[in-house]
Amino acid sequence: MKKMCMLGLLIVALAGTTMSQLVYEYDGPFPDTNFVMLGINVVNGGIGVDPEGKVWIQPYTTSTKDSIQVNDTTWTRLRPIYCYLPDGKTPAPFSPIKVLTGPDETGTTKIDTMFGYLGYGGCINPSNGNFMAVWYGKIWEIDYKTGQGVRTRNGNITGLDLNSPASVAVNSLGEVYMTRVVGAAPGVILNPDFSLGPQFSPSVGAIGRTITVSLDGNDVWVPRFTAVPPTTFLYHSDAGTLGSYALTDSIVGPSVESIGIHPVTGHVWFSADYRSVAATYPYTYTHSPNTYYAYNPVAKTIVDSFAVAHWPVSPATGAALPRGIAFSPTGDTVYVGKFDGANLPFAVSRFVRRLASVEPIDGNVPSGYALAQNFPNPFNPTTEISFQIAKQGFVTLRVYDVLGREVASLVNQELVAGSYRIPFNASNLTTGTYLYELRAGDVRLVKKMALVK
């Protein structure tokens, strides 16, 4: 294999934007629990955001609020598909989806009522925007505009038991990538009509519950948390399904049960759970529990992260296992789901990326160029940096670790003469000393700051 990436030793933060630092901030439960409760508190990877921004949620367990009458005297709880508008208050007209009807791969019409099937994961089909979901023993594609079934496949695929699917992933051609939770099963590809296509691997080992694929179908990422050490495997083909796949790279270290690709940056986002810390696994790779990391597959480094602080960490108190991540079409909003953590009344949380902008300081007339000591210092995890420039020009303010690697770009723009300040959020950095550098024309000023967590 190519270079194995020891992520615990390579964690760096967001490389910034042309104007200011972008940070994913917690925006509350989804749907908004002030207006609606779904009656579920866990998901198993079943989250998707369609082209209209509607959020699809597939529960793992039955709902306490949705049921169906099966005879004159009996009602049965359901595992319906929920779909909500981005406001988190308004369900789609067809939500909840309790029954699906549509043809299977042979053209035979199937009718499925959403009970009795454990939800094993879902995603958006990028070729048409539809929601794809797998259950214990079946897969469905659902029209994102109408909520109607498009097609289904039941039972086993040659060599792959659909009674234990490790979620589902789809490329831009509508080709479907799947493997099994338990190892020693192939990685298979279904054609857009759900007929059997080629394999991306004759055998995927260990245990894992999720999968993702690049839009072009060239890269298939398969996390297996019981591998020793826990590993996310990359299967690559230069020509997608027209070529042959080979195991070419790996992300080594964290225990991963949710993974997805950012629609704009192409970064691979994955979760780390409480099993990723050194106290649990006897390895040198350490990741923060309930934290999502963005991996740049070209630079082979972590470039961003955010933590879900309200999820419990300790197994003794019902620790949450991050299972599920889905981005809005622009990537500015991300939805994450949890398994376990049953004490929380909601399964999905929303994070929104917001700007931390450079702000002029009124009334300060610059006498020259200056870079002030950040305040507070030491800090955890936020601080503020002030500076002044004597004349208009292009200004950069960047943060580096002690090895000289850039970890954040806070300012990268034309500024008029004056005094400025900008907040810096280092929640995705580790404890240590960092350098921040101001450049304006021929002027270069550098100071140190200390992050203590």
Spatial distance between the Cα atoms of 162 and 179, rounded to a whole number of angstroms:
9
* Residue 16 is assigned to a structural domain of this protein: no
* Residue 319 is assigned to a structural domain of this protein: yes
Q: What is the pLDDT of the chain when averaged over all its residues?
A: 87
Average pLDDT of the residues in 134-141: 91
* Residue 2 is assigned to a structural domain of this protein: no
Average pLDDT of the residues in 23-52: 92
Spatial distance between the Cα atoms of 258 and 44, rounded to a whole number of angstroms:
9
Would you put residue 21 in left (φ > 0), alpha (ψ -120 to 50) or beta? beta
At 221-243, the pLDDT tens digits run 999 999 988 999 999 999 999 99
Assign 151 a pLDDT band (cuts: 50, 70, 90): very high
**Of 313, 335, 353, which closes a domain?**
353
Same domain assignment for residues 392 and 299: no
pTM: 0.78
User: What domain range is 147 assigned to?
Assistant: 22-353
Q: Three-class SS of residue 214?
A: coil
> What is the per-residue pLDDT for 101?
97
Mention every residue, 6+ apart, whose C-beta is less than 8 A from residue 57: 38, 40, 43, 46, 47, 81, 82, 83, 84, 337, 347, 348
- Using the predicted structure, report yes or no on whether residue 450 has a pLDDT greater than 50: yes
Distances (CA, A) of 57 to 128, 199, 290: 18, 28, 20
Same domain assignment for residues 335 and 403: no
* Residue 140 is assigned to a structural domain of this protein: yes
Assign 161 a pLDDT band (cuts: 50, 70, 90): low
> What is the per-residue pLDDT for 209?
96
* Residue 6 is assigned to a structural domain of this protein: no
> What is the per-residue pLDDT for 31?
96
Residue 149 burial (CB < 10 Å; 0-12/13-18/19+)?
buried
* Residue 3 is assigned to a structural domain of this protein: no
Residue 274, phi then psi, degrees to nearest 5? -65, -20
**Of 301, 333, 353, which closes a domain?**
353
> What is the per-residue pLDDT for 407?
77
Spatial distance between the Cα atoms of 273 and 171, rounded to a whole number of angstroms:
27
Assign 408 a pLDDT band (cuts: 50, 70, 90): confident
Hey, CA dihedral for 20, 22, 26, 27, is it positive or negative? positive
Query: According to the 3-state scheme, what is the secondary structure of 116-167?
Result: CCCEEEEEECCCCCCEEEEECCEEEEECCCCCCEEEEEECCECCECCCCECC
Residue 340 burial (CB < 10 Å; 0-12/13-18/19+)?
middle
User: The tokens of 345 are what?
Assistant: 């009344």
Q: How many other C-beta atoms can be found within 10 angstroms of the C-beta atom of residue 336?
A: 28
> What is the per-residue pLDDT for 278?
52
Q: Which CATH number is 167's domain given? A: 2.120.10.30
Concatenated DSSP letters for 355-366?
EE--EE-TTPPP
Residue 433, phi then psi, degrees to nearest 5? -95, 135
Same domain assignment for residues 362 and 349: no
Q: Over the range 233-267, which residues count as b (16 or more CB within 10 Å of their CB) and which as e? A: bbbbbeebbeeebebebbbbbbbbbbbbbeeeeeb
Spatial distance between the Cα atoms of 377 and 147, rounded to a whole number of angstroms:
53
Same domain assignment for residues 123 and 180: yes
- Number of domains composing the chain: 2
**Of 353, 373, 404, which closes a domain?**
353
Average pLDDT of the residues in 35-63: 94
Same domain assignment for residues 66 and 170: yes
Assign 4 a pLDDT band (cuts: 50, 70, 90): very low
The proportion of the chain whose per-residue pLDDT surpasses 70, expressed as a percent, equals 90
Q: Which CATH number is 411's domain given? A: 2.60.40.1930
Same domain assignment for residues 231 and 287: yes
Least confident stretch, 48-52, 123-127, 146-150, 441-445: 441-445
Q: In terms of pLDDT, which residue wins out, 275 or 160?
A: 275
